[in-house]
Amino acid sequence: MIEDARVLREEFVPNDVVHRDAEVNALSHVLEPVTEGTPADSALITGPSGAGKTTITKFTAGRLRENVLDVEYVHVNCWQSYTRFKALYRILEGLGQAVDVHRKSTPHDELLDRLDRYDGPPVIVALDEVDQLEDGHPIYDLYRLSKFSVVLITNDEEELLAGLDERVRSRLHTAETIHFDRYDIDELTDIMADRVEHGLAPGAVDRDQLRWIADAAAGDARVGLSILRSAASRADRDVEEHIRDSHIEAAIPEARQEVRSKALDSLRQEQRQVFEIVQEAEKLPPREIYEQYSERVDDPRTKRTVRSWLQKLERYNLVEAEGNGPNRMYRVCAASETN
């Protein structure tokens, strides 16, 4: 049944995209100066998780590279590359310039100097989950480099700006903001139908089943594709030619858990500690979460930083909040309890 498993994965970038023409055109317009060998203005891409921000950025950059051979693209996942050093190193690595960089002894200034001396074609750098950076230094560093154009990807523009100093905020005010809305059921159904056409055998799943999956995914393409992939795998194991409703029913909770587990695995140690503090209690207000966190680490982050982590955990369905202001309480989502 599964003819090309890669197509059913969220990180797969299709040859064409569905229901994101306006966003592709907007980003292409911002990056157009690169086609003439000059840096483009910055782009700020916002929207909920699973709305296609990463896929569309990679797709647009890929299409640009097909039309203009002399352009480089580096994608930085700021969940993993969250320090200034790691972000700059990842960019150098993407350009093939990090072979002799010593991770423990090379100073930031040397990394910046290497990037400043870079003499290749124009570079588009996407900082994905940019709000996960420890500070705004990498953003400001890139703004100072003449050959680099910057695409920033985040769930929440306000939260990102709140964590940056005025120097970086003022530069971001000139960025072109492209907002991605959550997919509706019909849009997500079409997206999965396109993946099915290239990834599954003909007749493997019908449109009503895809609508059921899209409804269960609540607009999150990552969850939808995970359900579809899990259901197809179950049908394959059962040597079926068509995905049965029972396969989808079993795949829904399994897929949701898979997406949450990936998010949990991507947390760095301090963020994981915050999650575990919430997990150990029935529910806690932000003040008590921060107090316990401060007792567990040697060099605690600010209250604002921990608050932003909690909001990020909420967006990724690891924790949920109820109430507002001083009455706000956090608790772990039921499906994350077993992690």
Burial of residue 259 (CB within 10 Å: 0-12, 13-18, 19+) is buried
For the whole prediction, is pTM greater than 0.85? Answer: yes
Numbered ranges of CATH 3.40.50.300 in the chain: 20-179
Two structure tokens written together for 130: 């940019």
Q: Where are the alpha helices (DSSP H) in 163-268?
A: 166-172, 185-199, 207-217, 221-237, 245-266
Q: Could you tell me the pLDDT band of residue 278, with boundaries at 50, 70 and 90?
A: very high
**Nearest CA among 133, 195, 188 for reference residue 165:** 133
- Does position 106 have pLDDT exceeding 80, yes or no? no
- Please report, as a single letter, which amino acid is at residue 23: E
Query: What CA–CA distances, in Å, run from 172 to 41, 116, 166?
Result: 10, 21, 10
164-223: per-residue pLDDT in tens?
888 888 888 889 999 999 999 999 999 999 999 999 999 999 999 999 999 999 999 999
Of the candidate ranges 15-29, 58-72, 210-224, the one whose mean pLDDT is the lowest: 58-72
| Beta strand pairing call for 319-322 and 72-77 | unpaired
Residue 105's pLDDT is 65
Question: What is residue 335's predicted lDDT score, i.e. its pLDDT?
Answer: 62
Residue 316: count other Cβ atoms within 10 Å of its Cβ: 21
Using pLDDT thresholds of 50, 70 and 90, give the confidence band for residue 104. low
- In this prediction, residue 339 has a pLDDT band, given cuts at 50, 70 and 90, of very low
Burial class (CB in 10 A: 0-12, 13-18, 19+), 127: buried
Tell me the average pLDDT of the chain.
91
Domain with CATH 1.10.10.10 in the chain: 267-336
Written as one letter, the residue type at 169 is R
314-330 mean pLDDT: 88
The predicted pLDDT at position 337 comes to 52
- For the chain, how many residues are written? 339
Q: In the chain, list all ranges with CATH 1.10.8.60.
A: 185-264
Residue 21 above 80 pLDDT? Answer: yes
- Does the domain formed by 20-179 have CATH 3.40.50.300? yes
Give SS3 for 164: coil
The C-alpha torsion from 328 through 330 and 335 to 337, rounded to 10°, is -160
Distance (Å) of CA 326 to CA 46, 276, 283, 308: 28, 22, 14, 16
Mean pLDDT of 251-266: 92
Overall CATH class of domain 267-336: mainly alpha
DSSP state of 330: E
* CATH class for the domain made up of 185-264: mainly alpha
Q: Where residue 338 falls among pLDDT bands split at 50, 70, 90?
A: very low
d(CA 130, CA 10): 19
Percent of the residues in the chain that have a pLDDT greater than 90, as a whole number: 69
